Amino acid sequence: MRSALSCLPQAARPSRRAATVLAAIAAAALLGGCAKRDSITVGSVPDDYRTNHPIIISEQDEVLDLPVGLSEHGMTRIHRAAVDGYVANYDRGAGAVISIMVPANSANAASASAAAYEIADYMQRKGIPAGRIVTVPYDAGAPDQTAPIRLVHGRMKAHVGQCGRWPDDVLKTSENKHYTNFGCAYQNNLAAQLANPADLLGPRAPTEIDAANRGVAIEDYQSRETEWAPVTQY
């Protein structure tokens, strides 16, 4: 018995080559449906607050503004306490120059000039070399108002970019991702608590061992009681 295809004209019969091509296309379509595209799409969009708001270590200005009153004629007790803290955070090994910016064209220009002279002398007595202290004027631009004395020097600091960016609606949570500003304040607070930003770059060298303190700690550990007794309180 002849098949139905043998009854068809020669031009109407599907060729073996065409059938092979159709089978290959069908197989490619099935394999394409099984491909994993989610990992590529999701992985291209950062969704980690440490990636969106990285902590950066770079040189920034350490600024301290000292208010000066019209009736003041030199460095005050408030100035001295503020300068003590400023000098304590100064890295003497880095050798940065401290600029004492004195306001000009302001109501308290004369008082600020006298206070700046005493501040420079006080900083030298605190151990800052005279060659690292520079006094420069700046235009306050307000003859009828007072302006502060500004202390400025550069130092390496850990910081994060500007927070408060809200480019999208936070209520659009269909993709289950946190909003753009998420984690920015946390990263800023963490960067502000770093006394030495170099700790983020690598571990510190080990310090010398305090033999006396270590001996006390070991003795206390060995002499403590190891027996445990249950305590019931009513």
pLDDT for the residue 142: 86
pLDDT for the residue 17: 64
CA angle 171, 175, 179 (to 5 degrees): 50
Residue 170 has, within 13 A of its CA and on its CB side, a CA count of 8
pLDDT for the residue 146: 93
Q: Determine how many CB atoms are found less than 10 A away from the CB of residue 187.
A: 21
Report the DSSP pairing between strands 98-106 and 56-66. Answer: unpaired
pLDDT for the residue 116: 95
Q: pTM for the complete prediction?
A: 0.60
Distance CA 56, CA 192 (A): 11
Write out the chain's pLDDT in tens, 234 residues: 454 445 545 554 556 666 666 666 766 666 666 655 554 444 455 678 888 899 999 988 999 999 999 888 899 999 999 999 999 989 887 889 999 999 999 999 999 999 999 999 999 999 999 999 999 999 998 889 999 999 999 988 899 988 888 888 878 777 777 888 889 999 999 998 988 888 888 888 888 888 888 888 898 888 887 677 777 776
Q: Where are the domains of the chain?
A: 59-155
Amino acid at 166: W
**Residue in 124, 116, 182, 118 with CA at minimum distance from that of residue 151:** 116
Whether domain 59-155 has CATH 3.30.1330.60: the reply is yes
pLDDT for the residue 92: 83
pLDDT for the residue 126: 93
CA angle 5, 7, 10 (to 5 degrees): 75
CB 59 within 8 Å of CB 142:
no
Assigned token pair, 77: 């007790």
Distance CA 141, CA 185 (A): 35
Question: Sign of the CA dihedral 66, 67, 73, 75?
Answer: negative
DSSP label at 114? H
pLDDT for the residue 24: 66
pLDDT for the residue 161: 87
Distance CA 98, CA 115 (A): 16
pLDDT for the residue 167: 83
